[in-house]
Structure 1
């Protein structure tokens, strides 16, 4: 099988685009005879002519046109790969894929990325929002570079991922405004043992965390519905279909719901920045990771929504 080398690819594409041996040779900084020999060797190796005469120049024939379409794409991909590798070498420009919980996409991430891009405008981002379990799978599969999600048990998820705590959030019991406890500022989990619950489903790590908290409080919840999205859980509570154990949630209509603080000492969740150790060798990812740590030192209070304070 014939293997095309880089010089032949470059010579062929240049001649195909310029359609004149003298001008193409000048662009390539070689002599016209050298270009003619290279094209002739290419045609002999493939076993068929690729050009035909056209006035004082040449043009691709049918077979040359077919080859040109493929080689032009190959050349562009090679250049694209070269540009991407060069961008990875620089810590001041490049692209980062970030995963996040839905709730962090309302307040925390917009503020963080706004401030980061003011300092590093040539670094761009793609954002993927999912429950923690899916985010960790994406990180393990190299679909994202870094993610912001709830803490996890390394023994059951992935023992090689690294994490940095970004915030500890209190949990609340979300009840309809018609609920007997709606006027309370705080309560114990056990106070809701007779209620019907809307629970986050097992796509979220919060599912098992919630069940563990109910067990510590001394009861098993009567579960009516399960969902994996914050606004759905809040909507079911607003419709008086039950109560829900929730973290602080953003961007949700709370007019018909009341969040009640919990006195239980374990009623909190920990949010973390999760990453692979090897990803820190990528300059833009390492720069972003270090920036987040310094940014949190000054802006940690911006993570929590105002209506829970």
Structure 2
């Protein structure tokens, strides 16, 4: 088999654009040249990878099988190239970090500041998205590391996931909420009487909120559905409804009050994730060291927000 890396790149480009001409433009070659290389690849594999449909192309069964493998191969090649180039000083290095919106606004900034101070020449790229999207991009090799919310069913076996923090969710509102206990906490069941501002599909907080309400025996009423983190907080501040959010994102935010949930509450685990296959880059290893160092320092000086606790031994 004479499969070439450039053929795999062309194949992935066509698979992602669903169009030969658009794919050729994206990789910087002519459409006839790209088509020829795809035909050579198909001949080597002994199966067609695309079929023509109205307005473009779609993957065949063989193409569907090849696509994740091709992405993984290309990601591994890029990682190998960066590792060698970093080692010999040809490049300054690059780090691709993903984080959920709440972590982008809270944990990522001080950690990345420490990283930048220690490694000023490393190129940083940050992707802000929900954990499901970040896991997808990790598996595709498009991210080196990601700060995600660990799913209840357990992490994808293709990922190496290290739990780092456990945090409780709080109720964000503009006014005092009826139904609180004498110590100021709100039983989760009381949320049945409060319309919720809900995160868009793909947010971990959406699933956590809906699951918690259903376990408490009710289907929540939604005042607004499909919002991003900043929009959720703005809608709450405007009095449209309440929301379950990490306390860290509303601490000190004008116009919003925080009400803790009565035990057992709703908790989530923050984790650092990377692909299990392949070795992390020098930059990824450096960020991990800095992240754990920052969390140890914060735990020692009681600098973590209320309700947030390390899931590792901070003295280790």
Q: TM-score, normalised by structure 1?
A: 0.63
Aligned to 1:286: 285
Give matches, 1:32-51, under 5 Å. none
| Structure 1, gaps ≥5 residues long | 1-80
| Aligned counterparts of 1:133 and 1:140: Cα–Cα separation in 2 | 11
Contact 2:98 2:129 in 1 (8 A): yes
| Aligned counterparts of 2:230 and 2:179: Cα–Cα separation in 1 | 21
Aligned to 2:193: 194
| Alignment pair present for 1:158 and 2:156 | yes
Instruction: For residue 172 of structure 1, report the CA deviation from its aligned partner.
Output: 0.7
Q: 1:251 to 1:174 in 2, by over 3 A?
A: closer
Instruction: For residue 273 of structure 1, report the CA deviation from its aligned partner.
Output: 0.8
Aligned to 1:89: 87
**Any idea what the Cα deviations from partners look like across 1:256-276, whole Å, max 9, x if unmatched?**
321100113141111111111
| Structure 2, gaps ≥5 residues long | 1-78, 308-316
**Any idea what the Cα deviations from partners look like across 1:243-292, whole Å, max 9, x if unmatched?**
11112253798333211001131411111111112353423222322332
**Which is higher, the Rg of structure 1 or of structure 2?**
1
| Alignment pair present for 1:124 and 2:144 | no
SS in 2 for 1:219: coil
Aligned to 2:5: none
| Aligned counterparts of 2:189 and 2:168: Cα–Cα separation in 1 | 17
| Aligned counterparts of 1:288 and 1:251: Cα–Cα separation in 2 | 26
**Any idea what the Cα deviations from partners look like across 1:4-31, whole Å, max 9, x if unmatched?**
xxxxxxxxxxxxxxxxxxxxxxxxxxxx
| Aligned counterparts of 2:124 and 2:303: Cα–Cα separation in 1 | 21
Instruction: For residue 181 of structure 1, report the CA deviation from its aligned partner.
Output: 6.1
| Aligned counterparts of 1:250 and 1:153: Cα–Cα separation in 2 | 22
**Any idea what the Cα deviations from partners look like across 1:28-86, whole Å, max 9, x if unmatched?**
xxxxxxxxxxxxxxxxxxxxxxxxxxxxxxxxxxxxxxxxxxxxxxxxxxxxx998453
Give matches, 1:1-309, under 5 Å. 84=82, 86-89=84-87, 93-153=92-152, 158-177=156-175, 179-180=177-178, 185-250=184-249, 254-300=253-299, 302=303, 304=305
Q: 1:303 to 1:95 in 2, by over 3 A?
A: farther
Q: 1:269 to 1:213 in 2, by over 3 A?
A: same
Contact 2:114 2:290 in 1 (8 A): no
Q: 1:276 to 1:206 in 2, by over 3 A?
A: same
Q: 1:281 to 1:272 in 2, by over 3 A?
A: closer
Instruction: For residue 201 of structure 1, report the CA deviation from its aligned partner.
Output: 2.3
Q: 1:90 to 1:170 in 2, by over 3 A?
A: farther
Instruction: Tell me the number of residue pairs that the alignment of Structure 1 and Structure 2 aligns.
Output: 226
Aligned to 1:6: none
| Aligned counterparts of 1:288 and 1:280: Cα–Cα separation in 2 | 14
Contact 2:179 2:187 in 1 (8 A): no
| Aligned counterparts of 2:151 and 2:88: Cα–Cα separation in 1 | 32
| Aligned counterparts of 1:292 and 1:253: Cα–Cα separation in 2 | 24
Contact 2:102 2:246 in 1 (8 A): no
Instruction: For residue 122 of structure 1, report the CA deviation from its aligned partner.
Output: 3.0
Q: TM-score, normalised by structure 2?
A: 0.62
